[in-house]
Amino acid sequence: MNFRRPITAILFQNIVVKVRSFSSTTSSTTSATKSKAFLPKYYDDIPLAKKAMGYIDASPDPFHAVQSSIDMFLKPAGFQEIQDDCNFQDCVKPAGKYYFTRNKSTIVAFAVGKRYQQGNGFKIIGGHTDSPNVKVKTRSKKRSSATGCIQLSVECYGGGLWHTWFDRDLGISGRALVRNADTGKIDQKLIKIDRPIVRISNLAIHLQSPKQREAFQINKEDHLSPILAMEAEKALTTGKNNDGTDANASTNNDKDGWVEHQEPLLLDLIASELNMQSKSSIVDFELNLFDMQKSSLGGMQSEFIHSSRLDNLASCFLALEALVQHCTIPATTANNNETSLLIDEDDSISMIALFDHEEIGSSSATGAGSPIISEAVKRISSALMTANNSNDSNFMEDMYGITLQNSFVVSSDQAHAIHPNYSSKHESGHAPRMNEGMVIKRNSNQRYATNGITGFIIREIAKKAKLNKPVQEFMVRNDCACGSTIGPIMSANTGMRAIDLGCPQLSMHSIRETMGVADLTHGLALFQGFFKYFQEVDSSINKE
Ligand SMILES: [Zn+2]
Protein backbone atom coordinates (compact mmCIF):
# COMPACT_ATOMS: atom_id res chain seq x y z
CA MET A 1 0.00 0.00 0.00
CA ASN A 2 1.28 3.38 -0.98
CA PHE A 3 1.14 6.28 1.48
CA ARG A 4 2.73 9.67 1.98
CA ARG A 5 4.90 9.94 5.02
CA PRO A 6 3.44 12.56 7.39
CA ILE A 7 5.61 15.57 8.25
CA THR A 8 5.35 14.75 11.95
CA ALA A 9 7.15 11.45 11.37
CA ILE A 10 10.04 13.25 9.66
CA LEU A 11 10.28 15.82 12.45
CA PHE A 12 10.17 13.12 15.07
CA GLN A 13 12.98 11.22 13.39
CA ASN A 14 15.17 14.34 13.54
CA ILE A 15 14.52 14.73 17.21
CA VAL A 16 15.29 11.12 17.98
CA VAL A 17 18.56 11.34 16.07
CA LYS A 18 19.62 14.41 18.01
CA VAL A 19 18.66 12.97 21.38
CA ARG A 20 20.51 9.76 20.54
CA SER A 21 23.56 11.67 19.43
CA PHE A 22 23.60 13.42 22.80
CA SER A 23 23.72 10.19 24.76
CA SER A 24 26.46 8.66 22.65
CA THR A 25 28.65 11.72 22.17
CA THR A 26 28.39 13.78 25.32
CA SER A 27 32.07 14.74 25.01
CA SER A 28 32.00 15.85 21.37
CA THR A 29 30.92 19.38 22.05
CA THR A 30 31.70 20.90 18.63
CA SER A 31 28.75 19.55 16.71
CA ALA A 32 26.54 19.68 19.80
CA THR A 33 27.26 23.41 20.28
CA LYS A 34 26.71 24.19 16.62
CA SER A 35 23.32 22.53 16.50
CA LYS A 36 22.17 23.68 19.97
CA ALA A 37 19.76 26.25 18.55
CA PHE A 38 17.96 23.52 16.66
CA LEU A 39 17.78 21.04 19.50
CA PRO A 40 14.43 19.95 20.91
CA LYS A 41 13.06 22.09 23.71
CA TYR A 42 13.67 19.43 26.36
CA TYR A 43 17.14 18.40 25.17
CA ASP A 44 18.84 19.57 28.38
CA ASP A 45 16.41 17.60 30.54
CA ILE A 46 17.10 14.26 28.87
CA PRO A 47 20.30 13.18 30.70
CA LEU A 48 18.70 13.61 34.15
CA ALA A 49 15.52 11.89 32.91
CA LYS A 50 17.56 8.93 31.66
CA LYS A 51 19.34 8.65 34.99
CA ALA A 52 15.96 8.61 36.78
CA MET A 53 14.68 5.97 34.36
CA GLY A 54 17.68 3.74 35.10
CA TYR A 55 16.98 4.00 38.84
CA ILE A 56 13.28 3.26 38.44
CA ASP A 57 13.87 0.30 36.12
CA ALA A 58 16.31 -1.17 38.65
CA SER A 59 13.76 -0.84 41.47
CA PRO A 60 10.67 -3.00 40.89
CA ASP A 61 9.83 -3.21 44.62
CA PRO A 62 10.80 -1.42 47.88
CA PHE A 63 13.64 -3.87 48.63
CA HIS A 64 15.24 -3.18 45.25
CA ALA A 65 14.53 0.55 45.57
CA VAL A 66 16.55 0.61 48.80
CA GLN A 67 19.37 -1.44 47.26
CA SER A 68 19.45 0.76 44.12
CA SER A 69 19.59 3.85 46.34
CA ILE A 70 22.66 2.44 48.06
CA ASP A 71 24.41 1.06 44.96
CA MET A 72 23.71 3.88 42.52
CA PHE A 73 23.90 6.92 44.82
CA LEU A 74 24.99 6.55 48.42
CA LYS A 75 27.96 4.18 48.23
CA PRO A 76 29.58 5.91 45.23
CA ALA A 77 29.26 9.22 47.11
CA GLY A 78 31.03 7.80 50.18
CA PHE A 79 28.03 7.38 52.53
CA GLN A 80 28.73 4.88 55.32
CA GLU A 81 26.20 2.38 56.57
CA ILE A 82 25.20 2.55 60.22
CA GLN A 83 24.20 -0.91 61.37
CA ASP A 84 21.09 -1.39 63.47
CA ASP A 85 23.04 -2.23 66.61
CA CYS A 86 25.53 0.61 66.19
CA ASN A 87 25.92 3.23 68.88
CA PHE A 88 25.40 6.55 67.08
CA GLN A 89 27.73 8.24 69.60
CA ASP A 90 30.61 6.21 68.20
CA CYS A 91 30.06 6.77 64.53
CA VAL A 92 28.23 10.04 63.77
CA LYS A 93 30.61 12.99 63.35
CA PRO A 94 30.45 16.48 61.76
CA ALA A 95 31.05 16.34 57.99
CA GLY A 96 30.13 12.64 58.02
CA LYS A 97 27.72 10.99 55.56
CA TYR A 98 25.65 8.01 56.66
CA TYR A 99 22.68 5.79 55.91
CA PHE A 100 20.69 3.09 57.63
CA THR A 101 17.83 0.86 56.55
CA ARG A 102 14.78 -0.67 58.23
CA ASN A 103 13.51 -4.03 57.01
CA LYS A 104 15.60 -3.32 53.89
CA SER A 105 12.54 -1.55 52.45
CA THR A 106 12.95 1.88 54.11
CA ILE A 107 16.14 3.90 53.97
CA VAL A 108 17.33 7.03 55.75
CA ALA A 109 20.49 8.86 54.62
CA PHE A 110 21.96 12.03 56.07
CA ALA A 111 24.96 14.31 55.87
CA VAL A 112 26.15 16.34 58.84
CA GLY A 113 27.23 19.87 57.94
CA LYS A 114 30.86 20.55 58.80
CA ARG A 115 29.77 23.63 60.75
CA TYR A 116 26.98 21.86 62.60
CA GLN A 117 26.03 23.37 65.95
CA GLN A 118 23.86 21.71 68.56
CA GLY A 119 20.21 22.66 68.37
CA ASN A 120 20.41 23.34 64.65
CA GLY A 121 17.74 21.75 62.52
CA PHE A 122 17.29 18.80 60.20
CA LYS A 123 16.37 19.52 56.57
CA ILE A 124 14.47 16.40 55.58
CA ILE A 125 13.14 15.32 52.19
CA GLY A 126 10.69 12.44 52.57
CA GLY A 127 9.42 10.07 49.88
CA HIS A 128 8.17 6.52 49.56
CA THR A 129 9.65 3.38 48.04
CA ASP A 130 6.41 1.42 47.61
CA SER A 131 3.85 1.51 44.79
CA PRO A 132 0.53 -0.25 44.33
CA ASN A 133 1.20 -3.72 43.03
CA VAL A 134 0.07 -7.33 42.83
CA LYS A 135 1.79 -9.42 45.50
CA VAL A 136 2.10 -13.18 45.74
CA LYS A 137 -0.04 -14.49 48.61
CA THR A 138 1.41 -16.31 51.62
CA ARG A 139 0.16 -19.58 50.12
CA SER A 140 1.13 -19.13 46.49
CA LYS A 141 -0.23 -22.38 45.08
CA LYS A 142 -3.34 -22.02 42.95
CA ARG A 143 -4.35 -25.12 41.08
CA SER A 144 -6.63 -25.07 38.13
CA SER A 145 -6.97 -28.67 37.02
CA ALA A 146 -10.11 -27.83 35.03
CA THR A 147 -8.13 -25.43 32.81
CA GLY A 148 -4.71 -27.04 32.82
CA CYS A 149 -3.16 -23.77 34.00
CA ILE A 150 -0.81 -23.35 36.93
CA GLN A 151 -1.48 -19.97 38.49
CA LEU A 152 -0.23 -18.02 41.46
CA SER A 153 -2.45 -16.84 44.25
CA VAL A 154 -2.10 -13.07 44.61
CA GLU A 155 -3.38 -10.10 46.61
CA CYS A 156 -3.65 -6.40 45.80
CA TYR A 157 -1.31 -4.02 47.59
CA GLY A 158 -2.54 -0.43 47.78
CA GLY A 159 -5.05 1.20 45.47
CA GLY A 160 -3.93 0.30 41.95
CA LEU A 161 -5.70 0.82 38.65
CA TRP A 162 -5.84 -2.96 38.42
CA HIS A 163 -7.24 -3.20 34.90
CA THR A 164 -3.89 -1.81 33.65
CA TRP A 165 -2.14 -4.97 34.86
CA PHE A 166 -3.88 -7.13 32.27
CA ASP A 167 -2.02 -8.38 29.19
CA ARG A 168 1.33 -7.04 30.38
CA ASP A 169 4.63 -8.95 30.38
CA LEU A 170 5.15 -9.43 34.10
CA GLY A 171 8.27 -10.40 36.03
CA ILE A 172 8.50 -11.35 39.72
CA SER A 173 10.67 -9.57 42.28
CA GLY A 174 11.12 -9.09 46.00
CA ARG A 175 12.88 -10.80 48.86
CA ALA A 176 13.39 -14.46 49.75
CA LEU A 177 14.47 -15.80 53.13
CA VAL A 178 16.93 -18.62 52.71
CA ARG A 179 18.55 -20.93 55.26
CA ASN A 180 22.32 -20.74 54.87
CA ALA A 181 23.69 -24.30 54.78
CA ASP A 182 27.05 -23.24 56.23
CA THR A 183 25.98 -20.96 59.05
CA GLY A 184 22.47 -22.27 59.70
CA LYS A 185 21.30 -18.63 59.77
CA ILE A 186 18.55 -17.13 57.64
CA ASP A 187 19.84 -14.90 54.84
CA GLN A 188 17.78 -12.25 53.06
CA LYS A 189 18.15 -12.45 49.28
CA LEU A 190 16.89 -10.06 46.64
CA ILE A 191 15.07 -11.74 43.75
CA LYS A 192 14.42 -10.26 40.34
CA ILE A 193 13.11 -12.63 37.68
CA ASP A 194 13.60 -10.30 34.78
CA ARG A 195 11.60 -12.07 32.09
CA PRO A 196 7.88 -12.25 31.34
CA ILE A 197 7.32 -15.23 33.59
CA VAL A 198 3.67 -14.58 34.47
CA ARG A 199 0.66 -12.97 32.83
CA ILE A 200 -2.78 -11.74 33.85
CA SER A 201 -4.86 -12.24 30.73
CA ASN A 202 -7.96 -10.32 29.72
CA LEU A 203 -11.20 -12.05 28.87
CA ALA A 204 -11.90 -11.87 25.13
CA ILE A 205 -14.41 -9.20 24.22
CA HIS A 206 -16.61 -11.83 22.56
CA LEU A 207 -17.08 -13.57 25.88
CA GLN A 208 -18.17 -10.44 27.73
CA SER A 209 -21.72 -9.17 27.94
CA PRO A 210 -22.33 -5.56 26.76
CA LYS A 211 -22.85 -4.66 30.42
CA GLN A 212 -19.48 -6.14 31.42
CA ARG A 213 -17.72 -4.31 28.59
CA GLU A 214 -19.27 -1.05 29.63
CA ALA A 215 -18.47 -1.52 33.32
CA PHE A 216 -14.82 -2.34 32.60
CA GLN A 217 -14.78 -3.91 36.04
CA ILE A 218 -12.81 -6.75 37.49
CA ASN A 219 -13.10 -8.90 40.58
CA LYS A 220 -9.81 -8.60 42.44
CA GLU A 221 -9.96 -12.16 43.80
CA ASP A 222 -11.20 -13.99 40.72
CA HIS A 223 -9.66 -12.14 37.81
CA LEU A 224 -6.14 -11.09 38.81
CA SER A 225 -4.45 -14.47 39.29
CA PRO A 226 -1.53 -14.66 36.88
CA ILE A 227 -0.77 -17.76 34.84
CA LEU A 228 2.69 -19.18 35.52
CA ALA A 229 2.65 -22.32 33.35
CA MET A 230 0.56 -25.09 31.87
CA GLU A 231 0.22 -28.43 33.63
CA ALA A 232 2.04 -30.19 30.79
CA GLU A 233 4.98 -27.87 31.28
CA LYS A 234 4.98 -28.65 34.96
CA ALA A 235 5.23 -32.38 34.27
CA LEU A 236 8.11 -31.77 31.90
CA THR A 237 9.93 -29.61 34.40
CA THR A 238 9.46 -31.73 37.46
CA GLY A 239 9.06 -35.19 36.00
CA LYS A 240 6.32 -35.82 38.54
CA ASN A 241 2.59 -36.57 38.38
CA ASN A 242 0.16 -34.32 36.61
CA ASP A 243 -3.11 -35.38 38.14
CA GLY A 244 -3.97 -32.53 40.43
CA THR A 245 -2.10 -33.87 43.41
CA ASP A 246 1.05 -32.09 44.43
CA ALA A 247 3.71 -33.01 41.90
CA ASN A 248 6.42 -31.92 44.30
CA ALA A 249 4.68 -33.14 47.42
CA SER A 250 6.71 -32.52 50.49
CA THR A 251 7.28 -35.33 52.89
CA ASN A 252 5.62 -34.98 56.26
CA ASN A 253 9.02 -34.11 57.69
CA ASP A 254 9.29 -31.08 55.39
CA LYS A 255 5.89 -29.67 56.20
CA ASP A 256 5.87 -26.49 58.25
CA GLY A 257 2.53 -24.96 57.25
CA TRP A 258 4.24 -22.81 54.62
CA VAL A 259 6.35 -24.83 52.25
CA GLU A 260 3.68 -27.40 51.36
CA HIS A 261 1.41 -24.58 50.17
CA GLN A 262 3.88 -23.05 47.75
CA GLU A 263 3.77 -23.56 44.02
CA PRO A 264 6.79 -25.86 43.42
CA LEU A 265 7.57 -24.19 40.11
CA LEU A 266 7.84 -20.85 41.88
CA LEU A 267 10.27 -22.31 44.40
CA ASP A 268 12.23 -23.83 41.48
CA LEU A 269 12.43 -20.40 39.90
CA ILE A 270 13.68 -18.75 43.08
CA ALA A 271 16.23 -21.52 43.69
CA SER A 272 17.57 -21.28 40.16
CA GLU A 273 17.68 -17.45 40.33
CA LEU A 274 19.74 -17.66 43.52
CA ASN A 275 21.94 -20.50 42.22
CA MET A 276 20.80 -22.69 45.09
CA GLN A 277 21.36 -26.42 45.08
CA SER A 278 18.01 -27.14 46.72
CA LYS A 279 14.78 -25.20 47.01
CA SER A 280 14.22 -26.72 50.44
CA SER A 281 16.41 -23.92 51.88
CA ILE A 282 13.75 -21.32 51.00
CA VAL A 283 11.81 -20.61 54.18
CA ASP A 284 9.66 -17.60 53.15
CA PHE A 285 9.37 -14.84 50.60
CA GLU A 286 7.74 -11.48 49.90
CA LEU A 287 7.24 -11.22 46.15
CA ASN A 288 5.36 -8.94 43.81
CA LEU A 289 4.76 -8.79 40.09
CA PHE A 290 6.23 -5.99 38.00
CA ASP A 291 5.93 -4.73 34.44
CA MET A 292 8.84 -5.95 32.33
CA GLN A 293 8.59 -2.98 29.98
CA LYS A 294 11.38 -0.52 30.70
CA SER A 295 10.61 3.17 31.11
CA SER A 296 10.73 5.21 27.92
CA LEU A 297 10.87 8.77 26.65
CA GLY A 298 7.75 9.77 24.74
CA GLY A 299 6.03 12.69 23.08
CA MET A 300 6.93 14.77 20.05
CA GLN A 301 9.98 16.29 21.74
CA SER A 302 10.74 13.51 24.20
CA GLU A 303 9.00 15.63 26.81
CA PHE A 304 7.43 12.71 28.69
CA ILE A 305 8.64 9.74 30.71
CA HIS A 306 6.37 6.72 30.52
CA SER A 307 7.17 4.30 33.32
CA SER A 308 5.97 2.16 36.19
CA ARG A 309 6.31 3.49 39.74
CA LEU A 310 6.87 7.17 38.94
CA ASP A 311 4.75 7.53 42.08
CA ASN A 312 6.94 7.70 43.98
CA LEU A 313 10.37 6.63 42.76
CA ALA A 314 10.63 9.94 40.88
CA SER A 315 10.68 11.66 44.29
CA CYS A 316 13.13 9.12 45.74
CA PHE A 317 15.44 9.73 42.78
CA LEU A 318 15.32 13.52 43.21
CA ALA A 319 15.92 13.28 46.96
CA LEU A 320 18.95 11.00 46.47
CA GLU A 321 20.41 13.11 43.68
CA ALA A 322 19.96 16.34 45.64
CA LEU A 323 21.57 14.92 48.80
CA VAL A 324 24.54 13.51 46.90
CA GLN A 325 25.04 16.78 45.02
CA HIS A 326 24.85 18.75 48.29
CA CYS A 327 27.77 16.65 49.52
CA THR A 328 29.85 16.82 46.35
CA ILE A 329 29.23 20.21 44.73
CA PRO A 330 31.65 23.08 45.40
CA ALA A 331 30.20 26.06 47.24
CA THR A 332 32.88 28.70 47.05
CA THR A 333 36.60 28.92 46.58
CA ALA A 334 38.23 29.57 49.91
CA ASN A 335 41.13 32.02 50.38
CA ASN A 336 43.74 29.32 50.18
CA ASN A 337 42.31 28.35 46.79
CA GLU A 338 41.01 25.07 48.12
CA THR A 339 37.54 24.28 46.92
CA SER A 340 34.95 24.25 49.65
CA LEU A 341 31.93 21.97 49.25
CA LEU A 342 28.36 22.96 50.09
CA ILE A 343 28.37 20.48 52.96
CA ASP A 344 31.54 22.12 54.36
CA GLU A 345 29.66 25.40 54.78
CA ASP A 346 26.48 23.83 56.13
CA ASP A 347 25.65 24.23 59.84
CA SER A 348 22.70 21.84 59.91
CA ILE A 349 21.85 18.29 58.88
CA SER A 350 20.58 17.29 55.42
CA MET A 351 18.53 14.10 55.41
CA ILE A 352 16.39 12.01 53.11
CA ALA A 353 13.88 9.42 54.36
CA LEU A 354 12.38 7.01 51.83
CA PHE A 355 9.64 4.98 53.50
CA ASP A 356 7.84 1.77 52.71
CA HIS A 357 4.06 1.41 53.21
CA GLU A 358 2.85 4.88 52.16
CA GLU A 359 0.36 3.33 49.78
CA ILE A 360 -1.37 1.53 52.63
CA GLY A 361 -1.40 4.41 55.12
CA SER A 362 2.16 4.48 56.58
CA SER A 363 1.15 2.83 59.87
CA SER A 364 3.86 0.19 60.24
CA ALA A 365 7.25 -0.29 61.83
CA THR A 366 8.89 0.88 58.59
CA GLY A 367 6.37 3.51 57.45
CA ALA A 368 6.35 7.27 57.93
CA GLY A 369 4.03 6.68 60.90
CA SER A 370 6.79 4.81 62.76
CA PRO A 371 9.19 6.43 65.24
CA ILE A 372 12.08 6.08 62.74
CA ILE A 373 12.56 9.83 62.17
CA SER A 374 11.97 11.06 65.72
CA GLU A 375 14.38 8.40 67.00
CA ALA A 376 16.95 9.23 64.33
CA VAL A 377 16.81 12.96 65.09
CA LYS A 378 17.21 12.27 68.79
CA ARG A 379 20.10 9.84 68.38
CA ILE A 380 21.96 11.90 65.78
CA SER A 381 21.62 15.22 67.58
CA SER A 382 22.66 13.74 70.92
CA ALA A 383 25.64 12.01 69.28
CA LEU A 384 26.77 15.43 68.03
CA MET A 385 26.23 17.16 71.37
CA THR A 386 29.35 18.99 72.46
CA ALA A 387 28.19 20.81 75.59
CA ASN A 388 29.61 19.77 78.95
CA ASN A 389 26.15 19.20 80.31
CA SER A 390 25.28 16.61 77.66
CA ASN A 391 24.77 14.12 80.48
CA ASP A 392 21.97 16.28 81.87
CA SER A 393 18.75 14.65 80.61
CA ASN A 394 16.69 17.85 81.04
CA PHE A 395 19.20 19.78 78.94
CA MET A 396 19.19 17.02 76.29
CA GLU A 397 15.38 17.01 76.14
CA ASP A 398 15.40 20.79 75.76
CA MET A 399 17.95 20.69 72.95
CA TYR A 400 15.90 18.01 71.22
CA GLY A 401 12.83 20.29 71.36
CA ILE A 402 14.86 23.16 69.89
CA THR A 403 16.18 20.90 67.14
CA LEU A 404 12.64 19.85 66.16
CA GLN A 405 11.49 23.48 66.00
CA ASN A 406 14.42 24.34 63.74
CA SER A 407 13.71 21.40 61.44
CA PHE A 408 11.62 21.13 58.30
CA VAL A 409 10.16 18.29 56.24
CA VAL A 410 9.66 18.42 52.50
CA SER A 411 7.26 15.55 51.86
CA SER A 412 7.68 14.77 48.18
CA ASP A 413 5.06 12.67 46.42
CA GLN A 414 3.75 12.84 42.88
CA ALA A 415 0.92 15.28 42.13
CA HIS A 416 -2.02 15.12 39.69
CA ALA A 417 -1.39 17.05 36.48
CA ILE A 418 -4.45 18.30 34.64
CA HIS A 419 -5.64 15.64 32.18
CA PRO A 420 -6.76 17.01 28.79
CA ASN A 421 -9.55 14.44 28.51
CA TYR A 422 -10.78 15.01 32.05
CA SER A 423 -9.95 18.68 32.60
CA SER A 424 -13.13 19.24 34.62
CA LYS A 425 -11.60 17.10 37.39
CA HIS A 426 -9.37 20.04 38.32
CA GLU A 427 -10.42 23.39 39.72
CA SER A 428 -9.12 25.79 37.08
CA GLY A 429 -7.17 27.98 39.52
CA HIS A 430 -5.25 25.00 40.90
CA ALA A 431 -4.61 22.85 37.84
CA PRO A 432 -0.89 21.99 37.50
CA ARG A 433 0.54 21.13 34.11
CA MET A 434 3.28 18.68 33.22
CA ASN A 435 6.68 20.23 32.43
CA GLU A 436 5.72 23.40 34.31
CA GLY A 437 7.52 22.48 37.54
CA MET A 438 6.96 21.13 41.03
CA VAL A 439 3.52 21.38 42.62
CA ILE A 440 2.81 22.48 46.19
CA LYS A 441 -0.26 20.67 47.56
CA ARG A 442 -2.55 22.29 50.07
CA ASN A 443 -5.63 21.24 51.99
CA SER A 444 -6.93 23.05 55.06
CA ASN A 445 -8.33 19.77 56.37
CA GLN A 446 -4.72 18.65 56.77
CA ARG A 447 -4.75 15.96 54.12
CA TYR A 448 -1.57 17.84 53.18
CA ALA A 449 0.76 19.45 55.72
CA THR A 450 1.43 22.71 53.84
CA ASN A 451 0.51 25.97 55.55
CA GLY A 452 1.20 29.64 54.80
CA ILE A 453 4.66 29.63 56.33
CA THR A 454 5.89 26.37 54.83
CA GLY A 455 4.50 27.28 51.40
CA PHE A 456 6.22 30.67 51.57
CA ILE A 457 9.53 29.11 52.62
CA ILE A 458 9.57 26.84 49.57
CA ARG A 459 8.56 29.61 47.15
CA GLU A 460 11.30 31.79 48.61
CA ILE A 461 13.86 28.98 48.25
CA ALA A 462 12.72 28.54 44.63
CA LYS A 463 13.47 32.23 44.03
CA LYS A 464 16.90 32.04 45.65
CA ALA A 465 17.73 28.93 43.63
CA LYS A 466 16.75 30.90 40.51
CA LEU A 467 14.40 28.22 39.18
CA ASN A 468 13.37 28.82 35.59
CA LYS A 469 9.71 28.56 36.60
CA PRO A 470 7.83 29.29 39.83
CA VAL A 471 6.32 26.34 41.68
CA GLN A 472 2.72 25.40 40.86
CA GLU A 473 -0.16 25.02 43.33
CA PHE A 474 -2.73 22.25 43.69
CA MET A 475 -5.93 22.14 45.71
CA VAL A 476 -8.58 19.53 45.08
CA ARG A 477 -12.07 20.52 43.92
CA ASN A 478 -14.55 20.93 46.76
CA ASP A 479 -16.70 18.11 45.34
CA CYS A 480 -13.81 15.63 45.12
CA ALA A 481 -12.13 13.54 47.82
CA CYS A 482 -8.55 14.58 48.55
CA GLY A 483 -5.63 12.16 48.62
CA SER A 484 -2.97 12.30 51.32
CA THR A 485 0.64 11.34 51.84
CA ILE A 486 3.44 11.26 54.40
CA GLY A 487 3.62 15.01 55.12
CA PRO A 488 0.84 15.23 57.73
CA ILE A 489 1.96 11.92 59.26
CA MET A 490 5.62 12.92 59.67
CA SER A 491 4.60 16.32 60.94
CA ALA A 492 2.17 14.91 63.50
CA ASN A 493 4.73 12.32 64.65
CA THR A 494 7.63 14.69 65.14
CA GLY A 495 6.15 18.17 65.58
CA MET A 496 8.27 19.42 62.66
CA ARG A 497 6.97 21.91 60.13
CA ALA A 498 6.23 20.30 56.79
CA ILE A 499 5.17 20.91 53.22
CA ASP A 500 3.67 18.50 50.69
CA LEU A 501 4.78 18.83 47.10
CA GLY A 502 5.67 16.70 44.08
CA CYS A 503 6.06 16.48 40.31
CA PRO A 504 2.84 16.54 38.27
CA GLN A 505 1.92 13.31 36.48
CA LEU A 506 -0.92 11.51 34.71
CA SER A 507 -2.36 8.03 35.32
CA MET A 508 -1.36 7.82 38.98
CA HIS A 509 -1.40 4.20 40.20
CA SER A 510 -1.56 2.77 36.69
CA ILE A 511 1.06 0.13 35.91
CA ARG A 512 2.39 2.71 33.42
CA GLU A 513 2.37 6.37 34.44
CA THR A 514 3.43 9.56 32.65
CA MET A 515 5.32 12.65 33.80
CA GLY A 516 7.27 15.51 32.21
CA VAL A 517 11.08 15.41 31.86
CA ALA A 518 11.45 19.11 32.72
CA ASP A 519 9.79 18.57 36.09
CA LEU A 520 12.70 16.39 37.19
CA THR A 521 15.12 19.20 36.36
CA HIS A 522 12.90 21.69 38.18
CA GLY A 523 12.47 19.38 41.19
CA LEU A 524 16.19 18.71 41.50
CA ALA A 525 16.98 22.44 41.47
CA LEU A 526 14.34 23.02 44.15
CA PHE A 527 15.67 20.22 46.38
CA GLN A 528 19.24 21.42 45.98
CA GLY A 529 18.01 24.90 46.88
CA PHE A 530 16.25 23.47 49.95
CA PHE A 531 19.46 21.96 51.30
CA LYS A 532 21.41 25.11 50.45
CA TYR A 533 19.07 27.98 51.39
CA PHE A 534 16.65 26.67 54.01
CA GLN A 535 18.49 28.11 57.02
CA GLU A 536 18.83 31.51 55.38
CA VAL A 537 15.15 31.70 54.41
CA ASP A 538 13.96 30.30 57.74
CA SER A 539 15.96 32.87 59.68
CA SER A 540 14.22 35.66 57.73
CA ILE A 541 10.88 34.75 59.33
CA ASN A 542 9.99 36.53 62.52
CA LYS A 543 8.99 33.73 64.91
CA GLU A 544 7.50 36.09 67.53
ZN1 LIG B 1 2.69 8.39 46.17
pLDDT, tens only, 96-151: 999 999 999 999 999 999 999 999 999 999 999 999 999 999 999 997 778 999 99
**What three-state secondary structure class fits 10?**
helix
- Does 133-291 match 44-131+308-539 at the fold level? no
Q: CB of 117 within 8 A of CB of 93? A: no
**Residue-wise over 1-34: b if at least 16 C-beta within 10 A, else e?**
eeeeeeeeeeebeebeebbeebeeeeeeeeebee
Q: CB of 309 within 8 A of CB of 414? A: no
Separation of CA 53 and ligand 1 centre (Å): 17
Residues in the chain: 544
Average pLDDT over residues 209-237: 75
pLDDT, tens only, 456-494: 999 999 999 999 999 999 999 998 888 889 999 999 999
Separation of CA 54 and ligand 1 centre (Å): 19
Out of 156-160, 205-209, 277-281, 391-395, least confident range: 391-395
Separation of CA 456 and ligand 1 centre (Å): 23
Separation of CA 491 and ligand 1 centre (Å): 17
The one-letter amino acid at 443:
N
Sheet holding 149-157, edge to edge: 186-198, 170-179, 282-291, 133-144, 149-157, 227-230
Residue 175 bridge partners (DSSP): 190, 286
Separation of CA 420 and ligand 1 centre (Å): 22
> Rounded to an integer, what is the distance from CA 461 to the centroid of its chain?
24
pLDDT at 388 over 70: no
pLDDT, tens only, 287-296: 999 999 999 9
**What three-state secondary structure class fits 491?**
helix
* pLDDT at residue 39 in the model: 74
| Confidence grade of residue 513 (pLDDT, cut at 50, 70, 90) | very high
Cβ neighbours of 385 (radius 10 Å): 17
Separation of CA 359 and ligand 1 centre (Å): 7
Separation of CA 413 and ligand 1 centre (Å): 5
Q: Where are the domains of the chain?
A: 44-131+308-539, 133-291
Provide the sign of the torsion angle of the four alpha carbons 372, 374, 377, 382, taken in this order.
negative
Separation of CA 161 and ligand 1 centre (Å): 14
Residue 178 bridge partners (DSSP): 187, 282
Q: What architecture is domain 133-291? A: Roll (2.30)
Distance from C-alpha of 416 to C-alpha of 310, rounded to nearest angstrom? 12
Separation of CA 135 and ligand 1 centre (Å): 18
Separation of CA 256 and ligand 1 centre (Å): 37
Give the CA angle between residues 282, 283, 287 to the nearest 5°: 80
Residue 111 bridge partners (DSSP): 97, 350
Q: At what angle do helices 310-328 and 517-539 cross, to 10 degrees?
A: 50
pTM: 0.89
Separation of CA 313 and ligand 1 centre (Å): 9
Separation of CA 486 and ligand 1 centre (Å): 9
User: CATH top-level class for 44-131+308-539?
Assistant: alpha beta
Separation of CA 307 and ligand 1 centre (Å): 14
